[in-house]
Chains A and B, each alone.
Chain A
Amino acid sequence: MNCEEAIRLIHLDADGETSAPEGEALRAHLLSCEGCANEARLVRQTARTMHRLRTSMPVLTQPEDLVKSILAGISGNTPRRSRSGSIMEAFFNLSARPGFRLAYAAVVLAFVSLFMLQQADTFRSVEALGEKLAQAQRPTTPDVQYSITIEDARDIIGSSELEPLIEGTPVSVSSERISVRKSDLASLAPSLGSRLASRLLASSDTPVERLPHLIVDIQQSLTSSLTLRPGGKDR
């Protein structure tokens, strides 16, 4: 017997499937072949170990306690009703139905359209808000320029006194007119004198009732009487 045949018989022998003559021949070979004898020991040992593992059932201690734990774990829960499983499974089952994909696409499109409309509204709202902010930052009343002709000014205070009077002040002088901004007029009124100040004030197109603060300021600034002419224009 050669080793190849011996190995085949060793495995059959472990399962009790060798004939008596095969068993005799195998034993004779094992006496003279150390390698095959070791293989036979290993196969027997493996078979014995596996047999013990199979027949040694792990012992479940306190089985009643385990039942109680399980029943406590399920209390308050009932078996799930859906046979189709999870929500995702239900979705995929539904998706196989005719028309579902078209309806699904329509719903998605509707949501996308709604989203875009909402975005457009948002953009418009932001734009309107920006405009409101810009308006809020602008002066509520424009800083009006009051102006009269140099000729009128000279008539009021005399030609020789006009130039020293306005020199170094915010009053601007062109070839024909002198001008002053509304915001400067109140502070300038005392130095300009009541007549020139009132004439400059009267040159504005702005109705008097819209200039209450300026009027009060001028009234407080001037000691002499000040004649206001609503809505009038100097030229």
Chain B
Amino acid sequence: MDDIIRKSTEGDAASFGLLVKAHQGYAFALAFRMLADEDEARDVVQESFIRVWKSIRRYDPSQKFTTWLYAIVSRVCLDTLRSRSRSNRLFHRGFDGSFDDGPRDSSDPEKTYSNRELAQLISQLSEDLTPTQRLVFTLRDLQECTIAEVSAITGLSEGSIKTNLSYARRRIRNVLASQYDISGSGS
């Protein structure tokens, strides 16, 4: 991988193509989980890799490439979310209040969601989250990054990450309580 990155910095488009192939799935997962929209996620991935190409000479090899890539994808996602918010379409595929299938079916915990089901669920869970809360939650709880990695990607302090994460988790818990008609003890 180091060789592919080095050749990419020298302007080798073929090597860069290999770099894209190796990482586009992870970049797409992050973008999709942030935006809950397949088309927008594809656009974000495309824009992010073009930015990677333009600034790849600034990449510091002592840093994990995925951390650097996630930082770029995250910025493009935040721009997209804010743009979406400005155009008053924050939840343009907003949740309609019920799942078609999948999420209600709890008999098989290993059942995975389709893209459409995932988009519905993520839209519902992160409906009231700010873009930053959504980003921190996605990176920490879905992409399973460490707090230190989230800090490196977002530039936020650990304290800020924990505060945003706590709010996001509480909100998601309340959404699920409402969805499943559960009145918890509020711990």
Query: Which residues of A are in contact with B by a Cβ distance under 8 Å?
Result: 3, 7, 11, 35-36, 38-39, 41-43, 45-46, 48-61, 63, 66-67, 69-71, 73-75, 77-83, 85
Contact = CB atoms under 8 A, between A and B. Distances in A.
A111 to B, nearest CB: 33
Contacts of B73: none
Interface stretch (B40-48, B76-84, B89-97, B159-167): B40-48
B139 to A, nearest CB: 12
A58 B16 CA distance: 23
A51 B110 CA distance: 9
Given A38-B185, A79-B53, A85-B58, A46 B176 contact: yes
B185 A60 contact: no
Which label, helix, strand, loop or mixed, suits the secondary structure of the B interface? helix
B147 to A, nearest CB: 17
Given A35-B185, A66-B42, A80-B57, A54 B32 contact: no
A54 B143 CA distance: 7
A56 to B, nearest CB: 4
Contacts, number: 137
A7 B185 contact: yes
Nearest to A8: B187
B62 interface: no
B155 interface: no
A58 B142 contact: no
B112 to A, nearest CB: 4
Which label, helix, strand, loop or mixed, suits the secondary structure of the A interface? helix
B61 interface: no
Nearest to B103: A49
Contacts of B50: 70, 73-74
A77 B54 contact: yes
Given A54-B141, A80-B55, A60 B28 contact: yes
Contacts of B142: 50, 53-54
A53 B117 CA distance: 10
Given A53-B121, A74-B50, A45 B112 contact: no
A61 B180 CA distance: 32
B33 A58 contact: yes
B154 interface: no
Nearest to A59: B115
Contacts of B28: 58, 60, 66
Nearest to B112: A56
Contacts of A74: 13, 16, 49-50, 53-54
Contact of A58 (B32, B125, B187): B32
What interface size band does chain B fall in? 35 or more
Given A58-B28, A78-B11, A49 B118 contact: no
A97 B20 CA distance: 40
A55 B45 contact: no
B95 to A, nearest CB: 13
Contacts of B111: 52
Interface in B147-187: 172-173, 176-177, 180, 182-185, 187
Given A45-B106, A52-B112, A74-B16, A67 B24 contact: yes
B136 interface: no
Nearest to B169: A46
Nearest to B187: A7
B38 interface: yes
A61 B45 CA distance: 13
Given A52-B112, A81-B57, A46 B173 contact: yes
Interface in B4-33: 8-9, 11, 13, 16-17, 20-21, 24-25, 28-29, 32-33
A130 B55 CA distance: 59
A199 B141 CA distance: 118
Nearest to B173: A46
B69 interface: no
A49 B24 CA distance: 25
A60 B25 contact: yes
